[in-house]
Structure 1
Amino acid sequence: MKLLLLIVLILKFASSLRGGVNHLNMVLSDAERFKNVDSDKGAMKRVGSKFRNRIGSNEYPAESGRYRIYVSKACPWAHRTLIVRALKGLEDVISVTYTGPHLKHLKESFDPTQSYLYKGWNFDSEICVEPHGFEYLDELYEYAEPGYRESCPQRPSFTVPILFDDKTQTIVNNESGDIIEMLNADFNAFAKNAHLDLNPIALHEAQEQINAIVYPGINDGVYRCGFAQTQAAYEFAYNEHWKAMDKIENLLSEHPFLCGKQITLADIRLFVTLIRYDPVYYSHFKTSRNKLIEMPNLLRFTQAIYHLPGVADTVDIHFIKLHYFGSHDNLNPSGIIPKGPSLNYLLSSCA
Structure 2
Amino acid sequence: MSEQNEHPEHSQGGTYSVKGKEFTRDTRYITTRITADGRDGFAVEPGRYRLVAARACPWANRAIIVRRLLGLEDALSLGLPGPTHDARSWTFDLDPGGRDPVLGIERLQEAYFARDPEYPRGITVPALVDTTTGAVVTNDFAQITLDLSTEWREHHREGAPDLLPAEHREELDAVVRRVFTEVNNGVYRCGFAGGQEAYDDAYGRLWTALDWLEERLADRRYLVGDTITEADVRLFTTLVRFDPVYHGHFKCNRNKLAEMPNLWGYARDLFQTPGFGDTVDFDQIKKHYYVVHQDINPSGIVPRGPELSGWVTPHGREALGGRPFGDGTPPGPVREGERVDPDHTPLRA
| Cα distance in 1 between the residues matched to 2:117 and 2:194 | 33
Name 2:72's counterpart in structure 1.
90
Q: Partner letter of residue 117 of structure 2? A: P
Matches within 5 A, 1:1-351: 41-54=20-33, 55-58=35-38, 59-104=41-86, 118-126=87-95, 129-130=99-100, 131-149=102-120, 156-193=121-158, 195-351=160-316
- Check 1:193–1:185 CA distance in 2 against 1; reply closer, same or farther (3 A cut): farther
Q: Deviations over 1:165-203 (max 9, x none)?
A: 213433222111111111112222222145421011222
Q: Distance in 2 between matches of 1:40 and 1:160?
A: 23
Q: Is the deviation greater in 282-291 or in 181-190?
A: 181-190
In 2, the alpha carbon distance for the partners of 1:344 and 1:125 equals 26
- Report sequence identity in percent: 39
Alpha-carbon contact 2:46-2:76 (below 8 Å) kept: yes
Q: CA deviation at 1:309?
A: 1.7
Deviates more, 1:188-197 or 1:67-76: 188-197
The superposition leaves residues 275-317 of structure 1 with CA deviations (integer Å, 9 ceiling, x where unpaired) of 0000100000000001011111111111121122232221000
Question: Which runs of 4 or more aligned residues in structure 1 lie more than 6 Å from their structure 2 counterparts after TM superposition?
Answer: none
Distance (Å, rounded) in 1 between the aligned partners of 2:206 and 2:231: 17
Structure 2 Cα separation of the partners of residues 212 and 185 of structure 1: 19
Contact (CA 8 Å) 1:90, 1:190: kept in 2 or not? yes
Tell me, in whole angstroms, the C-alpha distance in 2 between the residues paired with 1:132 and 1:66: 11
Task: Output the CA distance in 2 between the equivalents of 1:140 and 1:168.
Answer: 9
Q: Is the CA contact 1:40–1:233 (under 8 Å) kept in the aligned structure 2?
A: no
Query: 5+ residue gaps in structure 1?
Result: 1-29, 105-117, 150-155
Q: Which amino acid aligns with 2:115?
A: A
Aligned to 2:340: none
1:256, distance to aligned residue in structure 2 (A) = 0.7
Q: Secondary structure at the match of 1:275?
A: helix
Distance 1:145 1:198, change over 3 A: same
TM-score (norm. length: structure 2): 0.81
Return the letter of the residue paired with 1:49.
R
What is the CA distance between 1:91 and its match in structure 2? 1.3
Structure 2 SS opposite 1:121: coil
Change beyond 3 A, Cα 1:273–1:210: same
Q: State the Cα RMSD in Å.
A: 2.2
- Please give the alpha-carbon distance, in whole angstroms, between the structure 2 residues aligned to 1:194 and 1:175: 27
Q: Compute the TM-score of the two structures, normalised by the length of structure 1.
A: 0.80
The alpha carbon displacement at 1:53 in A equals: 1.9
- Tell me if structure 2 keeps the 8 A contact 1:47–1:157: no
Query: Alpha carbons of 1:47 and 1:132: their partners in 2 closer, same or farther (altered >3 Å)?
Result: same
Structure 2: unaligned runs, 5 residues or longer: 1-12, 317-349
Change (3 A) 1:259 1:45: same
**CA drift at 1:65:** 1.0
Structure 1: distance between partners of 2:181 and 2:199:
14
What is the CA-CA distance between 1:211 and the residue it aligns to?
Answer: 1.8
Superposed CA offset, 1:183-233 (max 9, x none):
112222222145421011222211121122211111000000000111111
Distance 2:215 2:158 in 1: 31
Number of positions where the alignment pairs a residue of Structure 1 with one of Structure 2: 299
Determine if contact 2:90/2:107 at 8 Å carries over to the other structure.
Answer: yes
Query: How far is 1:123 from its partner?
Result: 2.1
1:73 to 1:142, Cα distance in 2 relative to 1, 3 A: same
More helix by share: 1
> What is the CA deviation profile of residues 87-141 of structure 1, one whole-angstrom value per residue up to 9, with x for unaligned ones?
111111110111111131xxxxxxxxxxxxx313222044773244433332221
Contact 2:127–2:139 (Cα < 8 Å) also in 1? yes
- In the alignment, the residues of structure 1 paired with residue 279 and residue 116 of structure 2 have an alpha-carbon distance, to the nearest angstrom, of 30
DSSP 3-state at the match of 1:332:
coil
Contact 1:305/1:311, CA 8 A, preserved across alignment: yes
What's the secondary structure of 1:45's corresponding residue?
Answer: strand
